[in-house]
Amino acid sequence: MTLPIALDAMGGDFAPGEIIAGARRAVDELGLNVILVGVLELMGDPLGLEVVACSEVIAMDDDPGTSVRKKKDSSLVRAAELVRDGRASAMVSAGNTGATMASALLRMGRLPGVIRPCIATPIPRPNATPMMLVDAGANAECKPEMLVQFAQMASTYVRAHYGVDVPKVGLLSIGEEPTKGTPLVKETHRLLAAMSTLNFVGNVEGRDLVPSPVDVIVTDGFTGNVALKTLEGALKFVFATLLGAIATNETTRAAGDVLLEYVLPVAAELSAENQGGALLLGVDGICVISHGASNATAIMNALRVADEIDRGGVTEKLRTTIRPDEAA
């Protein structure tokens, strides 16, 4: 039997109820092996799943670094330790993103040569593999060398997980010309353009996030997170406006009856809950970060992604990705 996936039962806006329900569905519908990590007194019914008991919870507003040091018996830290100790194949959490990264970093360690892990969030594309946005929020401040590593790791991930042989990499900026952007962007552009092992196609702009013409978009974690949340908000707004228009009168409602049959599957494809979470690239183990507002479906899909990454040997492929001399 494969190792279980350690699921932080206490993390997320709808924890522990939706988290445990998602785990149960992953076991029943996908045949996955899942172990919950949580505080027994706060968890309620574990729905027949195995539980690793702990005594603390890292809250969404706790400071990432210090909370991991102070709350050593928290569900997040214990989940990371299960991976470190070879008792779980991966960890999944919808909790405090910064603390999830800190737990994984401090307990699992970094892959060789990696300056700092980054969050790789898949952005769906119609009839194509998702575009990978890195960094989606792990590192608010970055150096050019870090962005180069993010591009290297994301390319390896996209190649290994989605089968894209030569992923196209774009650098998020405010214009296509290499001279556009902040000093960070311009220096990163120079470094990426000099790399023979990456298929760097130049700068891309915010409008290239959807549908993206490239397979990887690299940026710093602050910009990446703003871009991601802007995209989420815009999509919600568009669908809400569309539904509002459909509900206007009898005629539009009749039209909606026809239209929604085609629109709702598209909305489902684009929704965060079906994407399955983001992979933390650069740590020595598998850590999937699910959306804070994850429901049971989102958790089930995050567990599915963690299992696929494990089976695909992505971490082993990432282990040899970083060659520090290339980024010099």
Partner 1 sequence: MSADTVAPLSRAAILELVRDQLAEILEKTPGDIAEDVPFVDLGADSLALIELVEALEESLSTYAAGFHIDDEDLEGLTSVRDAVDYVAVKLQVA
* Interface with partner 1 (CB under 8 A): 64-66, 68-70, 101-102, 105-106, 113-116, 141, 143, 324
Q: How far is the CB of 104 from partner 1 (least distance, A)?
A: 11
* Comparison of 15 and 108: residue with beta carbon closer to partner 1: 108
128 sits in which H/E element: strand 128-134
* Comparison of 32 and 104: residue with beta carbon closer to partner 1: 104
Categorise residue 282: left if φ over 0, alpha if ψ from -120 to 50, beta otherwise: left
Q: How far is the CB of 97 from partner 1 (least distance, A)?
A: 13
How far is the C-alpha of 252 from the C-alpha of 48, rounded, in Å?
47
Q: Where are the beta strands (DSSP E) in 142-274?
A: 168-172, 199-204, 216-218
* Comparison of 9 and 283: residue with beta carbon closer to partner 1: 283
Q: How far is the CB of 141 from partner 1 (least distance, A)?
A: 7
289 sits in which H/E element: strand 287-289
* Comparison of 26 and 76: residue with beta carbon closer to partner 1: 76
Reference 151, options 104, 123, 193, 213; nearest CA is: 193
Q: How far is the CB of 24 from partner 1 (least distance, A)?
A: 34
How far is the C-alpha of 103 from the C-alpha of 3, rounded, in Å?
20
Q: How far is the CB of 222 from partner 1 (least distance, A)?
A: 13
Taking the mean position of all CA atoms in its chain, how far away is CA 274?
A: 12
What value, to the nearest 5°, has the Cα angle with vertex 173 and ends 171 and 177?
A: 90
* Comparison of 70 and 236: residue with beta carbon closer to partner 1: 70
* Comparison of 43 and 283: residue with beta carbon closer to partner 1: 283
Residues facing residue 56 across a β-bridge: 74
Q: How far is the CB of 65 from partner 1 (least distance, A)?
A: 4
Are the beta carbons of 65 and 102 closer than 8 angstroms? yes
